[in-house]
Structure 1
Amino acid sequence: MYDLLVVGAGPYGLSIASHAAAAGLNLRLFGRPMASWRDHMPRGMFLKSEPWASNLSDPYGRWRLDVYCAQHGLTARHAEPIPVEAFASYGLWFARHAVPEVDERMVARVASGPGGFTAVTEDGEVVHARTVALAVGVMPFVEVPQALRGLHPALVTHSSDHSDLDRFRGRDVTVIGGGQAALETAALLAEQGTRVRVLARADGLRWNDVPPPWERPWWQSVRSPHSGLGPGWRNWFYAERPGLFRHLPEPTRARIAATALGPAGAWWVRDRVEGAVELLPGHEVTAACAVPGGVRLDIVSRTGAPRTLETEHVIAATGFRARCDRLGLLSDELRGSLAALPDGSPAVGRDFESSQPGLFLAGLVTASGFGPAMRFVQGATFTASTLVGGVRSRLRGTPTSGTIPVPGGSSRAWSPAPARR
């Protein structure tokens, strides 16, 4: 019986495992390290976050991105984006140095079990643990517009389906979305000779500004401080105070989680898109169907004007939506026991424990509780230290998170788990 089972080996899972190991917990860590970054992002992409805001977390701060870069002849400077391939390699380096052995098998199912939880790996091994931390990243939560669902993957894919865009050389592709994934995907497609257009609902595309210099007059820093989510006091609050964010009224948290740091392209991709990619802002797909040679899209403008276009392939760069019902690796009983917020994401206590005692959640799935930082690597440090503290309290039989709503609208006091022996 393990103290903790960590499911997922991306930035959050690896960080949690590092903190848990340092705390002396008997744990198992399952998942392919940095899988999303290695398998679901095309070559040539860059990390949008600043290098200094992209560290995985170990308790002593020894295994930072700048340390990795210094050892491998790379640079990690303010306002200089890091290639995704380099960041994925950094994560593997972190895994070798900062965490116990990673079991690269996938966990197929997690269910309640005697004294805690039972997990079954993809090849049938059964593992028992008192607590579980789900750090499953974004892939379970892929969001595709309703109008595009049901079309064959040869015609419609999500941006996260591609680690290589070579198959689209010389073809005609329509990218749906106005965020970084859409715009950088479109830039890469155009640069390899693909005929590409971007279709976005917003009236105009948004671009992030070049970040202010790291060294600047004190009064500029006071007016607009640096933060891991961008300059400004609001972003600083989201990045540095997720524990306080949780105390905002639920409607406020939901609104911020849904709208803050909305779709926008990085400053360094703008020149690669404008003038090179056909841009159709202010349009939305209302229907789609297969036609000889590709897909016909029925679209409508913000003014209500209809239009039809045909394309060989559609890439939906339309993000991810974290919902309880998409946590498919949880048993039906366990998934059904989770209290959900109005947006469908699971409710979590102040130490990331769900309404199911002993089941902890991390990453995007907690953004409605702890704020926009949970959508980025920036949130891994706060999550890892806080979550492991909650695990230790649960194992001691003295959980500190009070009560949380359960399905049906009531509240349940969390009962202590049996003390460790």
Structure 2
Amino acid sequence: MYEYDLIVVGAGPYGRSIAAHATAAGLRLRHLDRRIHRAADGRTVTAVRPYGRDGFEVVTEDGESLRTRTVVLALGPRFTELPAGAGEFRRVAAHRDRFCAAHPALFRRLPTVVRLLLTDHGNTGTDRVTLLSMPVRRRLSRTPDAPPWVDTRFESAHPGLFFAGLLTAAFFGPAIRSAHGAEFTARRVLRGVHRRLGRRQR
């Protein structure tokens, strides 16, 4: 019924790291990229929607339909250029990001208001995830401009759908805006995928 255990959408540092961990774990994997990178399949993903009892259908730009048990949307960060003369801000932000990269699990335990103040996340709401059907997007967050909720394994409120990268910065810290958090994220995501598949992680 399902061709794949996991489909990873996105070929940035998060997508590549998660795909590498999934390959090492022996999962049936498909790695696609909805942007311009060519490290993965290279085709644009036009839709991700529920399929069957507990899986997903991922549709590519040429109409191919792929069925999978789990999906990771590894959306890359959008970097904002700082104005000239902002060296001190860059230095403080770098220290902050290094701390959060070393302690992302601790960052998640901070009160919500503190996490939002520390995270310059820009537009990270579910309105960015346009390839998801609207019923799924509504389930992910109460408001379109809020980031989708994820648990400690980066799994969303929709079982089997995981997020990585910028959309999770509000939960795991500003380091998730860069490559700093890729290894931490990949390890956590794979634990969640194995749990969803009913397997023990190797």
Distance 2:117 2:20 in 1: 33
* 1:112 counterpart residue number: 50
Residue 334 of structure 1, CA deviation: 1.3
Match of 2:196, SS?
helix
Residue 24 of structure 1, CA deviation: 1.1
Distance 1:33 1:325 in 2: 17
Q: Structure 1 residue aligned with 2:112, among 250, 263, 266? A: 250
**4+ residue runs of structure 1 moved beyond 3 angstroms?**
32-35, 208-211, 340-343
Bigger relative contact order, structure 1 or 2, given CA contacts below 8 A and separation 6+? 2
Amino acid at match of 1:241: H
In the superposition, the TM-score normalised over structure 2's length comes to 0.86
Distance 1:393 1:8 in 2: 22
Q: Structure 1 residue aligned with 2:33, among 25, 31, 34? A: 31
**Superposition RMSD on alpha carbons, in Å?**
2.8
Match of 2:75, SS?
coil
* 2:65 counterpart residue number: 126
Match of 1:362, SS?
strand
Q: Structure 2 residue aligned with 1:12, among 14, 17, 27? A: 14
- 1:8-407 aligned within 5 A: 8-31=10-33, 35=37, 95=39, 102-114=40-52, 115-138=54-77, 179-180=81-82, 205-208=85-88, 230-231=94-95, 234-258=96-120, 320-340=122-142, 344-396=146-198
Distance 2:101 2:58 in 1: 33
Residue 34 of structure 1, CA deviation: 6.8
Change (3 A) 1:23 1:206: same
Residue 343 of structure 1, CA deviation: 5.9
Distance 2:181 2:60 in 1: 28
Distance 1:23 1:364 in 2: 25
| Paired residues of 1:338 and 1:355 also in contact (CA < 8 A) | yes
Distance 1:133 1:24 in 2: 16
* 1:289 counterpart residue number: none
> How many residue pairs are counted as aligned between the two chains?
197
Distance 1:256 1:111 in 2: 33
Encode CA deviations 1:395-414: one digit per residue, 9 max, x unaligned: 1179xxxxxxxxxxxxxxxx
Change (3 A) 1:25 1:340: farther
Distance 1:111 1:335 in 2: 10
Give the percent of matched residue pairs that are identical in Structure 1 and Structure 2: 45
Residue 237 of structure 1, CA deviation: 2.7
Structure 2's unaligned 5+ residue stretches are none
Encode CA deviations 1:317-360: one digit per residue, 9 max, x unaligned: xxx51111221011112111113589611111000001101000
Structure 1's unaligned 5+ residue stretches are 36-91, 96-101, 140-159, 161-176, 184-204, 212-228, 260-319, 399-421
Change (3 A) 1:255 1:340: farther
Encode CA deviations 1:100-136: one digit per residue, 9 max, x unaligned: xx21111100001113101110000000010000012
Match of 1:391, SS?
helix
Distance 1:210 1:333 in 2: 40
Distance 2:41 2:100 in 1: 33
Residue 387 of structure 1, CA deviation: 0.7
| Paired residues of 1:340 and 1:347 also in contact (CA < 8 A) | no
In the superposition, the TM-score normalised over structure 1's length comes to 0.43
Change (3 A) 1:235 1:375: closer
Encode CA deviations 1:350-405: one digit per residue, 9 max, x unaligned: 0000110100000011000000010011111111111111111111179xxxxxxx
Bigger share in helix: 2
Amino acid at match of 1:21: T
Change (3 A) 1:394 1:335: same
| Paired residues of 2:100 and 2:173 also in contact (CA < 8 A) | yes
Change (3 A) 1:208 1:108: same
Match of 1:109, SS?
strand
